[in-house]
Amino acid sequence: MSRLLIADFMIKPRAVPEQACQLRGARILPYNFPVDDVLSLLEPCRVCPRECGACRLSGERGDCGVGRHAILSSYGPHFGEERVLVGRRGSGTVFFAGCNLSCIFCQNYEISHMRYGSPVSEEELALVFLEIQDMGCHNLNLVSPTHITPQIILALRMARERGLHLPVVWNSGGYERPETLRLLEGLVDIYMPDAKYSDNAVARELSGADDYWDFCRAALREMHRQVGDLVVEDGLAKRGLLVRHLVLPGGLSGTEKVVKFLAELSPDTFLNLMDQYYPCYLASARPPLDRRITPEEYSEALSAAKRYLRRVINH
């Protein structure tokens, strides 16, 4: 597959006609509006940095591929996450379909890009959250939640009213609007974003997001402001920021710049420096993503991380 064809899979900026929304001419609400009105962020959609303007309340799909309702792919105890999340009974993962990034090496592309799953209401989602708690999981781990933040906010509030008390993990790609994240303050206990790249040009080519690093840094600042450094008690994460960074072949992830920024937030930022990259989805058409990383590439990234940060793991 040529690079030209790869570009066909990318999320492309689009102009939304003013006549497209039923809420045409509606006032763009400030971000201090009541949480009860949070669904209004979906029409015109401005939930994530793309601000695609889709009329999602009216059934139109956003650039994320999702419309009015969240699409639930799967849920249940997961034992492949970080040890501080898994413990003995597992992390209660809830996988959502769709994504606001279009990574050509996505390892969950069936979910993120093909959108395998079933639409669910906020009421149904709240029941799923409570079922996760009944399963005995240590936390509620929301995977790829960014594009359905309003729906999740409402579902979490419903579940809390019915007795949900698990720590909530926000497991995202790191491409977030700080203004939207502020609506999650008090609802999310553990932020676990990716910090994928430190170069916007690379992010544009590999994920279709030419402002990724700008928004990722702003999001990380907001997350850290809300929850601080990761707090671990009896081997389990309770609250705080846990950052994931996948080392890519050929230095494409820009590790040193990423970890240097994380150290500016706090030298005690908890970092999972991951070495499990393998070519997937469309990666074989874009060298050097057509190969795994070398031991030397990971060693170099690990050395950089440990120069700046005191809490680095590899899982």
CATH number at residue 210: 3.20.20.70
Provide the domain limits for residue 77: 69-313
Q: Is residue 242 part of a domain?
A: yes
Count of the separate structural domains present in the chain: 1
Are 172 and 139 contacting, i.e. CB atoms less than 8 angstroms apart?
Answer: no
Q: Is residue 12 part of a domain?
A: no
DSSP 111-167: HHTS--SEEE-HHHHHHHHHHHHHTT-SSEEEES-GGGHHHHHHHHHHHHHTT--SP
Q: Is residue 54 part of a domain?
A: no
> What whole-number distance in Å separates Cα of residue 95 and Cα of residue 128?
11
Tokens standing for residue 53? 């303007």
Q: Is residue 18 part of a domain?
A: no
Q: Is residue 262 part of a domain?
A: yes
Q: What is the pLDDT of residue 19?
A: 39
Q: Is residue 47 part of a domain?
A: no
Q: What is the pLDDT of residue 36?
A: 54
**Cβ neighbours around 223 below 10 Å, total:** 28
Burial class of residue 24, CB neighbours in 10 A (0-12, 13-18, 19+): exposed
Are 271 and 311 contacting, i.e. CB atoms less than 8 angstroms apart?
Answer: yes
> What whole-number distance in Å separates Cα of residue 52 and Cα of residue 229?
33
Q: Is residue 163 part of a domain?
A: yes
> What whole-number distance in Å separates Cα of residue 191 and Cα of residue 49?
18
Q: How far is CA 31 from CA 181, 183, 213, 282, in A?
A: 10, 8, 22, 37
Which pLDDT tens digits describe the chain residue by residue (315 residues)?
A: 333 333 443 444 333 333 334 333 333 444 445 655 899 999 999 999 999 999 999 999 999 999 999 999 999 999 999 999 999 999 999 999 999 999 999 998 888 888 889 999 999 999 999 999 999 999 999 999 999 999 999 999 999 999 999 999 999 999 999 999 999 999 999 999 999 999 999 999 999 999 999 999 999 999 999 999 999 999 999 999 999 999 999 999 999 999 999 999 999 999 999 999 999 999 999 999 999 999 999 999 999 999 999 999 998
Half-sphere exposure of 275 (CA within 13 A, CB side): 14
**Cβ neighbours around 264 below 10 Å, total:** 13
Q: What is the pLDDT of residue 315?
A: 83
